[in-house]
Amino acid sequence: MRKVLLVLCLVVLVSLALVSGVWAKGYTIGMLVKNVGNPFFEACARGGQEACEELGNNFIFQGPATPTVEGQIEIIENFIAQKVDAICVSANDFDALVPVLKKAMASGIKVISFDSAVNPEGRLVHVNQADAEQIGKLQVQAIAEMIGYEGEIAILSAAATMTNQNTWIRYMQEELKDPKYAKMRLAAIVYGDDLRDKSYNEAMGLFKSYPNLKGIISPTTVGVSAAAKAITDAGLIGKVKLTGLGLPSEMAEWVKNGACEAFFLWNPVDLGYLAAYVAGLLCEGTITGKEGETFKAGRLGEYTIRKSGDGGTEVLLGPPFRFDATNIDEWKDVF
């Protein structure tokens, strides 16, 4: 009986090792996202896989079941134990991951952040999906056009601790100071925590607290589609306008029924691709993450590492893409 158990254990261990590809050649690149099961990050994973295949590296994709800091720390500890060569992380908190990421770097792992940055102390370089300033401004410009530069607007964000959300909101507030928005007023910023029921309730609450509300900006995928559903259910299509950052597959319904005229997003496949590519190049030593370095990232072309707003360095993917009724059908099945 004991022998059988021993053999069974060995078989399990060996097959686990084979599956995880620890013994395969090339560098092992671990991608850690805010939470798994989110189509945005699934698309990032597809891009990461693609880049790793091109460079002959191994790709591991992980994330906690819910977007928590604790879950991410646990996975990073695992990555360190597994001796991966690089970690690409989309952080649930700007500072909280720094100690464990420093530990990873001390053991020789190349750490970069993408999508949502960590403090420069905890990374070599950040792969930025788009310029935060550009993202913030674009959404304000879009909502202003929709409501005719006049009336109350509100922001429906994810969690109050999320780095990228807060930076975009700061730039939105900057943009709103421009005299051409003098007749617009930011009435409220509310948080739906990227939970569908809470985001929906917060959107409904906005309609009821601010009866003159003209527009909502929701720079988060769950938020913007929950807000669209709320606008539809409340019979406010055309009365309350909506824009934000959303997934074409989720937003297709709401673009078609008019709840949301246009929204933005970068291409997450390209984002994951670029992140995994940069991680690969860091492992090879082709780049080190210093300001001014240039490199070619496969099918995406030439990039230059530049100084980022938080005091570190970053690589900028490109401008966000606008989705509306003219192109939603070709994108809704992509991601």
Contact residues for another protein, defined by CB under 8 A: 35-39, 42, 65-66, 160, 188-191, 195-197, 200-202, 204-206, 208-209, 211, 225-226, 229, 233, 249-250, 252-254, 256, 332
Burial 13-29 (b: 16+ CB within 10 A, else e): eeeeeeeeeeeeebbbb
**Rounded least distance, CB 296 to another protein, Å:** 31
Q: Which is nearer to another protein, 46 or 306 (CB)?
A: 46
**Rounded least distance, CB 31 to another protein, Å:** 13
Q: Which is nearer to another protein, 202 or 314 (CB)?
A: 202
3-state secondary structure of 141: helix
Sign of the Cα torsion 322, 155, 39, 132 reads: positive
**Rounded least distance, CB 192 to another protein, Å:** 9
Q: Which is nearer to another protein, 215 or 312 (CB)?
A: 215
Give the span between the Cα atoms of 244 and 262, in whole angstroms. Answer: 8
**Rounded least distance, CB 288 to another protein, Å:** 34
Residue type present at position 300: L
DSSP string, 40-101: HHHHHHHHHHHHHHHHT-EEEEE--SS--HHHHHHHHHHHHHHT-SEEEE--SSTTTTHHHH
Give the span between the Cα atoms of 283 and 69, in whole angstroms. Answer: 26
Q: Which is nearer to another protein, 82 or 209 (CB)?
A: 209
Residue 50: C-alpha distances to residues 57, 58, 197, 270, 271 (Å): 10, 10, 34, 10, 11
DSSP string, 198-231: HHHHHHHHHHHH-TTEEEEEE-SHHHHHHHHHHH
Q: Which is nearer to another protein, 20 or 288 (CB)?
A: 20
3-state secondary structure of 182: coil
Are the C-beta atoms of 135 and 116 separated by less than 8 Å? no
Q: Which is nearer to another protein, 37 or 148 (CB)?
A: 37
**Rounded least distance, CB 241 to another protein, Å:** 19
Q: Which is nearer to another protein, 183 or 256 (CB)?
A: 256
**Rounded least distance, CB 37 to another protein, Å:** 3
Q: Which is nearer to another protein, 38 or 72 (CB)?
A: 38
**Count of alpha carbons within 13 Å of 323, Cβ hemisphere only?**
28
Burial 201-218 (b: 16+ CB within 10 A, else e): ebbbebbeebeebbbbbb
Residue type present at position 3: K
Are the C-beta atoms of 48 and 276 separated by less than 8 Å? yes
**Rounded least distance, CB 201 to another protein, Å:** 5
**Rounded least distance, CB 300 to another protein, Å:** 24
Q: Which is nearer to another protein, 259 or 305 (CB)?
A: 259
**Rounded least distance, CB 190 to another protein, Å:** 6
Sign of the Cα torsion 162, 108, 130, 121 reads: positive
Give the span between the Cα atoms of 140 and 149, in whole angstroms. Answer: 10
